[in-house]
Amino acid sequence: MKLCEYVTYDALDLAELVRSGEVSAEELRDAALLAIEQVNSELNAVIGLTPDETERALRGRARAAPFSGVPFLLKDIGAHMASVPSELGSRFAKGLTPPTDTELAARFKKAGLVTVGRTNVPEFGDNVSTESLLYGPAHNPWDLSRSTGGSSGGAAAAVAAGIVPMAHGNDGGGSIRVPAACCGVFGMKPSRGRNPAGPQYDDLIFGLGVEHVLTRTVRDSAAMLDATHGADAGARYLLPSPETTYLAACERDPKPLRIAFSVKPSEGAPEIDALCQQAVLETARLCESLGHHVFEGAPYIDHDEVCAIFRDVASPFMTASLRTLAEALDKEVTADELESTTWAIFTHGDRMSAAEFAFAIGNVNAVSRKLGQFFTTCDLWLSPVLSRPTVKLGVLDANEKGLDAFQWVRKMMDYAPFCAMFNGSGQPAMSVPLHQTPDGLPVGVQFAAPFGDESTLFSLAGQLERARPWAERHPEVFVR
């Protein structure tokens, strides 16, 4: 298969070509590897190949699986595969290779995906830009001087540039939605507990983190969630299954929806750039033209409260994770092998008392209740993803000296002020790549739904994609 053909298909199309015998899985692997060779030197999106896992997947895949033979990239943190390095974007964890699959990784394999490499991440995923000291920055394919977003920045850049149609991501404070918005791809953050986090965790970052993928098309994201959702053995969360498949949901128009929208920042958050406001207003008009009831409205959420939640819930998780990792690696946690803000987060978590952590969990509940009450007035809420279009590399430098934990969290959340609240509440939210700035940079908009209602989001996303297709918009750096 020629590269010029390979990049025109989404993951479901590629799987159908393999099932029909029109192309082989080996041809798709070769195309993906050639695509990496062609553009990755500019992007630094892929930080390592996985030849042993690639060959295992080619031998072991089921031909009837929904994504049989489709090339895939695994994020270097979160869901991991046996014998595939997972270095967490950190010099501290360099060479770390897990001995077992996570449950989600096992489901990726069962779905027929052929993992060909690992994607670039910030250190321990703790940045909304992807520019670690270990790997160096990932470059946005629309403008190489700009950030891909984070922490799934390598995944978003690889999908946007045509290396693969779909790549693994996870989201603990916007880490799927932010890079999707920066790179002009589709990013769905599922509800807490929709995808499994086991067996190492019951929930990631005490419930803030979830796993899924970034895609060019809505239907790939929907079909992937069909393949992976559901609790694994021992999980404490058990969400009701959707009434129909997510793929079926995205292929049909939704009923007329009540869609609230806002371009105003939360109390204490920075003003929203005019281009991001314009994207929301244009999306609101598009939704209205599609028959939905659109009105201005927003929950009352205090920005400092959300920042404090993320600091005081993520910090002790970071502390515990680093101590566990240090024990496994037989080494000490020191500032020498960590970026400055990672050390700040670690030390903050190390100093917190149990009472302070309990207070943070109480704040999570308070924000969740506010959001839950707001969503009794609407079916979906439309907002910006970011406070401004994607920034230059270096603006969000996790090795910046002198920042304490709150200052670093506040800097990230000021850039993505509408994301982390839904990690706290556990609600599903998606970034949809409907817009661009006059100079061609992507601008995503966010839709959020009540807890457990990914189906309505997929249904609207499919309708929006049919009304304003985006898959044929290609960045400056794109596989040719």
User: Rounded distance, CA 215 to CA 165, Å?
Assistant: 6
pLDDT digits (tens, 9 = 90+) for 175-220: 999 999 999 999 999 999 999 999 988 889 999 999 999 999 999 9
In sequence order, which residues have a C-beta less than 8 Å from that of residue 47 and are 6 or more positions away? 76, 117, 118, 119, 120, 135, 154
* pLDDT score at 48: 98
The pLDDT value recorded for residue 202 is 86
**How confident is the prediction for the chain on average, in pLDDT?**
97
CA–chain centroid gap for 92, Å, is 23
> Hey, is 353 helix, strand or coil?
coil
Answer yes or no: 75 catalytic.
Answer: yes
Q: Give the CATH superfamily of 3-467.
A: Amidase signature (AS) domain (3.90.1300.10)
| pLDDT at position 203 | 87
Residue by residue, pLDDT tens for the chain (480 residues) are 999 999 999 999 999 999 999 999 999 999 999 999 999 999 999 999 999 999 999 999 988 999 999 999 999 999 999 999 999 999 999 999 999 999 999 999 999 999 999 999 999 999 999 999 999 999 999 999 999 999 999 999 999 999 999 999 999 999 999 999 999 999 999 999 999 999 988 889 999 999 999 999 999 999 999 999 999 999 988 899 999 999 999 999 999 999 999 999 999 999 999 999 999 999 999 999 999 999 999 999 999 999 999 999 999 999 999 999 999 999 999 999 999 999 999 999 999 999 999 999 999 999 999 999 999 999 999 999 999 999 999 999 999 999 999 999 999 999 999 999 999 999 999 999 999 999 999 999 999 999 999 999 999 999 999 999 999 999 999 999
Give the start-to-end residue ranges of the domains of the chain. Answer: 3-467
pLDDT at 78: 97
What residue type is 363 in one-letter code?
A: N
Residue 160 CB-half CA count within 13 A: 32
Is residue 175 annotated as part of the catalytic site, yes or no?
A: yes
224-228 long-range contacts (CB < 8 A, ≥24 apart) are: 224/11, 224/67, 224/111, 224/166, 225/188, 225/190, 225/194, 225/195, 225/454, 226/66, 227/66, 227/67, 227/107, 227/110, 227/111, 228/104, 228/107, 228/108, 228/111, 228/195, 228/196
The reported pLDDT for the residue numbered 238 is 87
- Say whether 241 is catalytic: no
Q: Which of 68, 132, 147, 151 is catalytic?
A: 151
Distance between CA atoms of residues 379 and 445, nearest Å: 16
Place of tokens 């302070």: 356
Q: Which of 75, 109, 189, 411 is the catalytic position?
A: 75
Per-residue pLDDT tens digits for 64-96: 999 999 999 999 999 999 999 999 999 999 999
Give me the pLDDT at residue 472, please.
94
Say if CB 79 and CB 100 are below 8 A apart: no
From the list 68, 147, 175, 368, the catalytic residue is: 175
Strand spans (E) along 186-309:
186-189, 210-215, 258-261, 293-296
Q: Is-cis flag, bond preceding 199, omega within 30?
A: yes
346 DSSP assignment: H
| Entry pTM | 0.98
Helix boundaries (H) for 290-353? 303-329, 340-351
